[in-house]
Structure formats: C-alpha cells, structure tokens
A and B are shown apart, each in its own frame.
Chain A
Amino acid sequence: MPWGPLRDLFVEVLLVTPSIRLTDAEVRRGGRTLWTGLDLDVEPGEFVAVLGPNGSGKTTLLTVLLGLLPLAVGTCEVAGRAPHRGSADVGYVPQQTSMDALTPLRGRDLVGLGLDGHRFGLPFRGRAERARKVREALLQVDALDLADAPVGALSGGEQQRLRIAQALVGDPGLLLADEPLHSLDLARQRAVVELLERRRREHGTAVVFVTHELNPVLPVTDRVLYLVDGRFRIGTPDEVMTSETLSELYRTDVDVVRVRDRIVVVGAEDRLVHTGGGPR
C-alpha cells in the first residue's frame, strides 16, 4: 500500500490530534452503569464544562481520563494514546481541600510533587531544570511569592493557585479540574477562571471542568456535557441550557431562565445540591 504512509502523514499534518477522544464509552462502578454510549472529542484549547447532579459520574469521567479506571465498553484516547497513570499529558486540579497547618511542604514543594512526585528513585538528576519548571509554573499563577511559604499557613485561594501551578508544571495538553471553585469566594473564583482561560488561550490546553455551577465559567465555556442518571447531552451552553433539554434530561419540568449574563435553573435544585453525598 504505497499511499498508506502518505495518508498517515496527511492525517497528521492536516488534522490536529484531539486532546480527548471518547468513542461509545461506558462506565460502570459497583455494578451500576453510570453512563453509556458517550462520544466526545475535545479539541486542543477547548473548554468543556461537565455538569450534572451528584452520582451522575462527573468525577468518574475524570477518573477515566486520568487512567485510573478502565472503560467497561468503548475506547478512550488522551492526546492520541490510551490514558495511563501519572501521564505528563494530563494535569489535574482537585476540589479545594485544606492542608494541615504543620504540613512540611512549601509552595515550591507542592508544585514540584506535581512534576515528579510519582517517580521512584533518587532525585539527583535535573535539579536545575526542575527548579526552573517549578518557578515557571508559579509565575503562571502569580504565586512566586508563595514559593517558600508553608502551604498549611496559606488561605484557600492561595492553596488553589498552587494547585493549578501543580497541575500545569508538567506542561500538560489537557487540564482536568474537579470543582476547583468550591468554597472559594467570588473574587477568587474569577481569578481561577481567568488563569485557566489564559492558559488555554496561550498554550492551547484543553480544559475539562467539572462543576455544579456553570455561571462562573459561562463566559469561557465552549461546550457543556450535562449528565443525569446515565442520560447526557453535549453542546454549546445555548444548546444544552434550555428548559426543553434539561426537562428531558431530568424527566421532570425544569425551567431555565436567563438573567442578564447568568443562567438560572429552576426545578432541579434538590438534585443539584452540592454538599457531600447529596440526594443519592
């Protein structure tokens, strides 16, 4: 087949490898199917918000993309390859957790763990390079002044900035964020969203953003993946966030109201309560 390699080259040059490619994906946890038949391509630089009630499998999607949970059915590719543990292609920002006051870590240490904390062996090689990368990541989130501060003594917003630096230090093409705005005040939320927005604009990093609250990220969201009880809808916020679509997803009357630049969902509140556990 003389044209085989040529075709491959053509495909490689003209088509950009998607950051994520999920094909007919099904996930099961504890014998229960969370969602099935999910097809999703996320392009570099795209911002996808993942919404839905608790237990709908939002975080599980991230677990799959991190390579920690295999799909029951279908295929998953991250940057053109099967996801694997500790991949440098993927950065992860967890929900904000407070760190113990006497945790023996400084800002630079926390960020550094994101770079090579998963590697075994002696850390003798590439120390200067490591320090440079950590510095660069701190600079990206305006946190150079936190480099030597004990992480336990920092505020929630400062810790979250370090978390983002920790996720970015490996220069990932894909950033997964799990409720990173939770328990941050409005100003801090805005700062975090601005950071992610800048990152994807300047570095083409795709962002998958799990959240229960779309409004803080609405201006930067390209597409929404809305999951409810195994049903889902993918589209732009205007396509998905309508009374009709959400009523179908929730199988009950849901009203979606636009108030200025905010979207208010009425009728599904009891399913959207965020505090741990939730209705199911």
Chain B
Amino acid sequence: MTYSLLDLLALDFVRNALVAGVVLAVLAGLLGPLVVGRGMAFSVHGTAELAFAGGAGALLVFGTEAIGWGALIGAVLVALLFGALGRAQRERDSVIGVLLSFGLGLGVLFQALYTGRSANKFGLLVGQIVGVDVGDVLTLTVVGVVVLVVLAVVRRPLLFASLDPDMAAARGVPVRALSIVFAVLLGVTVALGVQIVGALLVLCLLITPAAAAAQVTASPTLASVLAVVFAEIAVVGGIVASLDAGLPISPFVASIAFVIYLVCRALGALRTRRRVAVATP
C-alpha cells in the first residue's frame, strides 16, 4: 500500500493533480464560510453550471485550449449577476433556477455538437484532475495567490457585510461593492474548480467543508481554518483514493466530504445538548 502511493507520487501528473487540488481546496475552504453565511449555496451551483456551459461552448468553438477561459467568463458573468440580485431569498432562488437550467441546457447542446474526444466533454462535468498539466498548475497558483491577496484585504468588511449586512451598511461598509468583489472571487474559484473536480462537485468543495465547520465552531477564523482543512482532506484523499482504485475522483471527494459533514453534525448536536444542559440545571 505504502509503496504504491510513493510510486504514484513520483509521477508528474499525480504531483500536478495534488498541487492543483491543494490550491483549489485552500480557496474553496476560505470562501466557503462566506458562501454559507451569505446563503449563496444555490448560486454557487448555478455559477458552476454556467461555468460548465461557458467551458463547453469554448470547447466547441475554439477547442480544448479555450475551455479555461470559457468557464471563467461564464462563471464570473453569472456570479456578478447573482451578486447584484440583492437579498430577497425567494426571488434570488427563482432567478438562479432559471439561469441554472438554461446554462445546463446550453452546455449539453454544446457538448452534443462537439465531435472531438469524449474525455474532454465529461471532464467538465465530473472532473479530469489527472489531465492537469504544469501550465494549468501555474495558472491555478497565480490566480489562487491573487484571490488570496484580495481576500486578505477585504476579509473583515466582507465578513461584516455577509453576516450582519444592515449593521455593516450603517457603519459605512460598501455592501454592494463588496458583493460584486465577492462574486468575482467566487466566479474565478468556481471556474477553476469546474476544470479540476467538475461542475457537479464544485458544491462539494465550496459548501460541504464550510457547512461542516459551521456545525462545530462559531468562531469565524476557526471556521475558515477548519473549512480549509476539511476541503484539503477531501481533495487529497479523493485524488489518492481514485488513483488507487482507478475510478473517477468525484465520488471519493464527495464521500469523504460527506463523512466529515456527518461527523461534524454529530459533534455539533452533542455540543448544543451540553450547552442546553448547562443552561437548565
């Protein structure tokens, strides 16, 4: 078991995949608590489908080289739109539903028209992490650093605007401008995620680790740290397990994240019960 893992790590494509996964998990883990706090899980899903449509369209028209740009444009455009939708949950959800299904339909159409390798098609939906090359890793790392720097600068006002929007507005935080900044960060991360773990699993990295962390801590800093750790465990564990089993990465990442979530929920329930027990002796 150990030797086979070491052998795998000696391979270039495995190392590329792992580095890409680690970077992606850091971004997803840091953005996740804000996504959950802003109640944007559904718009992440919508953004992922539009990244899929953009990627599929670019593949059809310009070929494999353009997938990344197509996904990025699709994701950022729609994330901006979702970011501008305001806070009325019902209206937001229905608009997201409308755009999501339209994007999915477009994506399927583009894929049906595409006559090239079928691996290129399915990669966008279920991930093609073993196909990540050095160039991809470089792009991902550069984009990742940019997102991290922006996030470091806006983190406090963004947290304020996300979790306590009325008060933040009263204190002069530019709530609307920040929701646009957040939309761009989210769009970029989703576009990268779609190319690595696929559109179907982006939620699994952006939502599940953060939702799990929210079950066990109310500290915003600790929640971010835990979300990153959980995302890393899911991605790295998923890559290694999928290589070992010779199956796609998606089911493994999803399963590991889900198990982490279940464990955290159980811990959270225990914690709540203890607090109630202390409060009512």
Contacts and interface: CB of A to CB of B under 8 A. Distances in A.
Interface of A: 66-68, 84-87, 92, 94, 97, 99-100, 102-106, 109-110, 113-114, 116-123, 149-153, 163, 166
A123 B169 CA distance: 20
Contacts of A85: 171-172
18 contacts: A66-B172, A68-B170, A92-B171, A94-B166, A103-B37, A104-B36, A104-B214, A105-B218, A106-B218, A114-B167, A118-B168, A119-B156, A119-B157, A120-B154, A120-B156, A152-B218, A153-B275, A166-B167
B156 A123 contact: yes
Contacts of B166: 94, 97
B37 A113 contact: no
A179 to B, nearest CB: 12
A119 B158 CA distance: 10
Interface in B217-240: 217-220, 223
Interface string B243-281: 000000000000000000000000000001001000000
Given A99-B164, A117-B159, A119-B156, 4 more contacts: A85-B172, A109-B220, A120-B156, A150-B218
A66 B153 CA distance: 24
B173 interface: yes
B168 A153 contact: no
Contacts of A105: 163-164, 218, 220
A113 B164 contact: yes
Interface of B: 33, 36-37, 39, 152-154, 156-157, 159-160, 163-164, 166-173, 213-215, 217-220, 223, 272, 275
Contact of A104 (B39, B156, B173, B218): B218
A153 B39 CA distance: 18
B219 A86 contact: no
A68 B231 CA distance: 40
A87 B164 CA distance: 18
B219 A106 contact: yes
Contacts of A86: 171-173
Contacts of A97: 166
Contacts of A122: 152-153
Given A94-B166, A117-B160, A118-B160, A104 B220 contact: yes
A10 to B, nearest CB: 35
B176 to A, nearest CB: 13
Contacts of A109: 218-220
B172 A67 contact: yes
Contacts of A149: 218
B19 to A, nearest CB: 26
B167 A113 contact: yes
A164 to B, nearest CB: 12
A119 B24 CA distance: 27
B125 to A, nearest CB: 30
Contacts of B173: 86, 117-118
B36 A102 contact: yes
Contacts of A121: 153, 156
A42 B117 CA distance: 75
